[in-house]
C-alpha cells in the first residue's frame, strides 16, 4: 500500500547557518547570506510545486540588530536588491508576498521596497510567502496586545490571535530550523504552539528541494494529537484501526 503524501499547508522556516557556510569557505558572512537567497528562491519554488500553500521564513530577527554594523547593512542591502530582482519571477509564479515585522525602524528604501513587492503580488494566490523581517515573537505578542488595548477591546485568545502579525494565515503545521541549533530564537512564539518541529544540521545555503522533501516526509509520519489521545485521533482519521 502506498501511503498518501501528507503535505503541510503552512511551512515556517528559521533559515540559519549562512554565516557558518561562508566562514567555512573563508568568505565574508554576507557571501553566505547571498547564497541563502539562492536557497530561498529554490525553496519558494519547490513549496509551490508540492502544494504547500503558505511559506513563512525568518529573515531578520529583532535581535539581529546586535550584529556588527557591516553585516546589518549588508543584510538590508541584500533585501532591497533581492526584492527588485526576484519580484517579477515570484509574480509570474503566483506568489503573494507579505512582510511581517516592525517596519518603523527600517530605512525608507527598504520600507518602500517592501510595500512595492506586496502591492505587485497582491493579486496572487498560489503560494502565500511571508517574510519575517525585523520580526520577533515577543514584539508580535506585544504589538497585538497594545493594538487591542488602544482600541479598548477585550483581550481573549481569539482577539489576540486576530491582532497578531500572521492573522491572514492559519498557524504553521511544520516549523523547520536549519543550522543545527535546537531553539526558537524568538520566532513564532504564539503561532507555533502546535507546530511540528523539525531540526536539521544542514546549513541554510545547503537546504535544497531534497532536504525539504525529507522534512515534509518526516512531517507526514507524525501523529498530531492536539491534546487528545492516540485512540481518539485514530478514530477520527480512520487510521490505525488495526492496532491491537
Ligand atoms: C541566518 O544565518 C541568517 C540571519 C540570521 C540573518 P546566520 O547568519 O545566523 O548564520 P550562522 O548561524 O552565523 O551560521
Ligand atoms: C535566527 O537565527 C534568526 C534568523 C534566522 C533570521 P540567529 O542566528 O539570529 O539565532 P541565534 O542568535 O543563534 O539564536
Ligand atoms: Mg545563526
The mean pLDDT value for 47-58 works out to: 98
**Ligand 2 atom closest to 15 (CA):** 5
Q: How confident is the model at residue 4 (pLDDT cuts 50, 70, 90)?
A: low
Q: Which atom from ligand 2 is nearest to the alpha carbon of 204?
A: 5
In this predicted structure, the answer to whether residue 244 has a pLDDT above a threshold of 80 is: no
What is the distance in A from the centroid of ligand 2 to the CA of 185? Answer: 6
Terminal-to-terminal C-alpha distance of the chain? 20
Q: Please compute the mean of the pLDDT values over residues 145-169 and round it to a whole number.
A: 98
Given a cut of 70, is residue 239 above it in pLDDT? no
Catalytic residue list: 16, 64
| pLDDT tens sequence across 169-200 | 999 999 999 999 999 999 999 999 999 999 99
Confidence label for 5 from pLDDT (cuts 50, 70 and 90): confident
Q: How, if at all, do strands 127-135 and 174-177 pair? A: unpaired
Residue to substitute in 18, 23, 29, 180 for testing ligand 1 pocket (most ligand atoms within 8 angstroms of CB) = 18
Q: Please indicate if the annotation marks 62 as binding a ligand.
A: yes
Kindly tell me the number of DSSP H helices and DSSP E strands found in the chain.
8, 6
Residues 6+ apart with CB under 8 A from 130: 54, 55, 56, 57, 98, 99, 100, 166, 169
User: Whose CA is closest to atom 14 on ligand 2?
Assistant: 185
Selection from 4, 5, 3 nearest residue 215 by Cα:
5
In angstroms, what is the span from residue 14 Cα to ligand 3's centroid? 9
Name the band, by pLDDT with cuts 50, 70 and 90, for residue 42. very high
Q: How many CB atoms are closer than 10 A to CB 163?
A: 19
pLDDT digits (tens, 9 = 90+) for 76-133: 999 999 999 999 999 999 999 999 999 999 999 999 999 999 999 999 999 999 999 9
Task: Give the DSSP letter string of 181-206.
Answer: ----TTSSTTTTTTPEEEE-SS-GGG
Residue 214's Cβ-count burial label (10 Å; 0-12, 13-18, 19+) is: middle
Order of all β-strands in the sheet with 10-14: 95-100, 127-135, 54-61, 10-14, 174-177, 196-199
Asked if residue 63 belongs to a known ligand binding site, the reply is yes
| Ligand 3 ion: residues within 5 Å (CB) | 16
Reply yes or no on whether the pLDDT at 36 is more than 90: yes
10-235 homologous superfamily = Decaprenyl diphosphate synthase-like (3.40.1180.10)
Amino acid at each position: 500500500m502506498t501511503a498518501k503524501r501528507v503535505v503541510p499547508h503552512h511551512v515556517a522556516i528559521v533559515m540559519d547557518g549562512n554565516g557558518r557556510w561562508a566562514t567555512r569557505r573563508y568568505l565574508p558572512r554576507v557571501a553566505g547570506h547571498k547564497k541563502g537567497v539562492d536557497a530561498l528562491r529554490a525553496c519558494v519554488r519547490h513549496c509551490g510545486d508540492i502544494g504547500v500553500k503558505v511559506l513563512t521564513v525568518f529573515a531578520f530577527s529583532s535581535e539581529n540588530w546586535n550584529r556588527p554594523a557591516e553585516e546589518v547593512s549588508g543584510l538590508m542591502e541584500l533585501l532591497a536588491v533581492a526584492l527588485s530582482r526576484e519580484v517579477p519571477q515570484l509574480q509570474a509564479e503566483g506568489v503573494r508576498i507579505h512582510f511581517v515585522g516592525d517596519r518603523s525602524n527600517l530605512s525608507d528604501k527598504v520600507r518602500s521596497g517592501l510595500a512595492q513587492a506586496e502591492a505587485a503580488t497582491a493579486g496572487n494566490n498560489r503560494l502565500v510567502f511571508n517574510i519575517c523581517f525585523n520580526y520577533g515573537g515577543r514584539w508580535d505578542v506585544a504589538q497585538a496586545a497594545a493594538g487591542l488595548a488602544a482600541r479598548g477591546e477585550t483581550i481573549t485568545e481569539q482577539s489576540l490571535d486576530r491582532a497578531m502579525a500572521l492573522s491572514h494565515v492559519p498557524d504553521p503545521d511544520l516549523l523547520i530550523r536549519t543550522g543545527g541549533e535546537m531553539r526558537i530564537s524568538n520566532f513564532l512564539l504564539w503561532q507555533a504552539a502546535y507546530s511540528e518541529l523539525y531540526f536539521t544540521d544542514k546549513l541554510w545555503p545547503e537546504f535544497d528541494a531534497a532536504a525539504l522533501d525529507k522534512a515534509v516526509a518526516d512531517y507526514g509520519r507524525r501523529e498530531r494529537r492536539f491534546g487528545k489521545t492516540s485512540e481518539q485521533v485514530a478514530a477520527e482519521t480512520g487510521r490505525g484501526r488495526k492496532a491491537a
